[in-house]
Chains A and B, each alone.
Chain A
Amino acid sequence: MPEIIVDNLTHTFGKGGKDALTVLEGIDLTFESGSFNCIVGTSGCGKSTLLKMMAGLFDPTDGEMRLDGEVIQGTDRRRGMVFQQDAVFPWMTVRRNISYGPRLRGAGKAEQAEAEAKWIEAVGLTGFEDRWPRELSGGMRKRVDIGRVYANDPDILLMDEPFGALDAQTKERLQADLLKAWNASKKTVVFVTHDLEEAIFLADKIIVMSARPGRIHHIEEVALPRPRTEEMRLTDEFLQIKRRLWAMLEH
């Protein structure tokens, strides 16, 4: 089963130079197979850097990461990523965006159509199959992004503040829909955010990081039952966790 281990990882930008900046130091983490993990922390704690290294977009200066015992090096379809910026290809319709991954591997027409039908429905874009991305709202483009990664069937889903640029209502709806999709597929998710409420609502485990250099400050196991509901956001248990984590980020 896909499990990610981060082993004594340190990253220094411009190592050896006089402007060297250590953004991550001595990170040890285990992301269990099928779990939903959130990484929170103030800006500058290196959470996005950590995620991009897990995706293989660049290598850490020290330490390593392993997926099922295999050292992570370079990008791979097993580790899919959703970015904070809009990464939907504007030159492809919604449909073509969704089936991009299968097409990379030479999927035939029928197989592409199957992936399109399945994931367009799953992310709630029915009726928008043949629209250009420019015709969609920001929230809908995010749905395309998520559907495209899911249709590519990775083992691990890395999400870098994917809902950071959306309004509060759209954000809550997308969080609920993301949990639905996750429930159906049980992929391991690592989700970076600076929004505590988002983290508590989504995660099994919340990793709190401190900044400069980024270190693991605290790991919170979220015991809220699943499926999570909107009402839970206002329960004492939820708010207690929020208060506790909030105090940590303020320290």
Chain B
Amino acid sequence: MNNLSKFLSGRLFLGVLSVALVFAAYIWLTNRPDNNPALLPPISDIIGSFRTNLTSGSLMTALGASLFRISTGFLIGTSLALIVGCLIGWYKTIEYLCDPLIEAFRPIPPLAYIPIIIIWFGIGEFSRVLIITIACFMVCVVNVIAGMKNVPQVYVDAASTMGASRFQIFRTVAIPAATPFIITGYRIALAAAWTTLVASELLAAQNGLGYLLQEGRRYFLTDQVMMIIVIIGACAFIMDRIFRMIQARLMQWSEARE
């Protein structure tokens, strides 16, 4: 009995429950006699669209193209953010130099750069990856800087009185102490990457998940639109889970691991 109530209040059960409820509500809505399947396609149609796109190969091509853009933009953006953020957060001179720039550009949504990027670089692959890179960099760098600035002084003093050089303190104290912030920055960057990916593909692309969405709207294939939304949600969810696993592994030492 105790075990059962533990299971019923546990993460797995409640998580599955909420998904199942939304699922059930959707089935109920689509089965109502006054439902218009062109606006709210039944689950069977969505699965049908999934099958069609899977066998024709278009889904895999789109997924491959989108995942490539995401991972390239994410890796470049976050790597730059890590380097720049560490420099700004650790060296006062660099901070004074770069802080006004970061603060000025930070509130600008990455999608606002799309027009100028198209003017400068056209609508090719480079432009799409560039937008994602900018988005990842901007949200990540702020967190890296915050992490570097929140390194407790007593750890720095302890290392320095043991004879550590400034660079050794950076490597053995500042980086690990800032890890929780840095990981959070990476996770937010991943979410930002998905947001900007779809937006950039909606605007100008011949393939990718955003393109399939656009195609679904153009030919009134609501089932395809729904299917792509679910795919994007599932991909983002899986990636975030992988990230959480990495986080749990890197943060074994922390009191606040979850």
Contact = CB atoms under 8 A, between A and B. Distances in A.
Q: Do A and B come from one complex?
A: yes
B253 A104 contact: no
Contact of B163 (A86, A101, A134, A148): A101
Nearest to B157: A57
A193 to B, nearest CB: 18
Nearest to A134: B255
B163 A77 contact: yes
A152 interface: yes
B253 A132 contact: yes
A81 B177 CA distance: 20
A77 B162 CA distance: 5
A104 B252 contact: no
Nearest to B161: A81
Contact of A91 (B160, B162, B163, B177): B177
Nearest to A152: B162
Contacts of A199: none
B223 to A, nearest CB: 50
B155 A80 contact: no
B179 interface: yes
Contact of B161 (A75, A85, A86, A134): A75
A90 interface: yes
Interface in B176-198: 176-177, 179
Contacts of B154: 83, 85-87
B252 A132 contact: yes
B254 interface: yes
A152 B158 CA distance: 12
B76 interface: no
A57 B161 contact: yes
Interface residues of A, number: 29
Contacts, number: 66
Contacts of B168: 104
B163 A75 contact: yes
A104 B163 contact: yes
Contacts of B160: 57, 75
Interface string B160-171: 111110001000
B163 A133 contact: no
A195 B200 CA distance: 66
Contacts of A244: none
Q: What class of interface size applies to chain B in its complex with A?
A: 20 to 34
B172 interface: yes
Interface in B28-66: none
B123 interface: no
B231 interface: no
B254 A134 contact: yes
B203 to A, nearest CB: 43
A63 interface: no
A208 to B, nearest CB: 26
A80 B157 CA distance: 10
Contact of A133 (B157, B179, B253): B253
A145 B172 CA distance: 16
Most buried by A among B157, B161, B164, B173: B161
Interface of A: 55-57, 75-77, 79-81, 83, 85-87, 89-92, 100-101, 104-105, 132-134, 145, 148-149, 152, 158
8 contacts: A57-B157, A87-B158, A89-B155, A91-B177, A91-B254, A134-B253, A145-B158, A152-B163
* Top 9 closest pairs, chain A to chain B, by CB: A77-B163, A87-B158, A91-B176, A81-B161, A75-B160, A91-B253, A85-B154, A101-B162, A87-B154
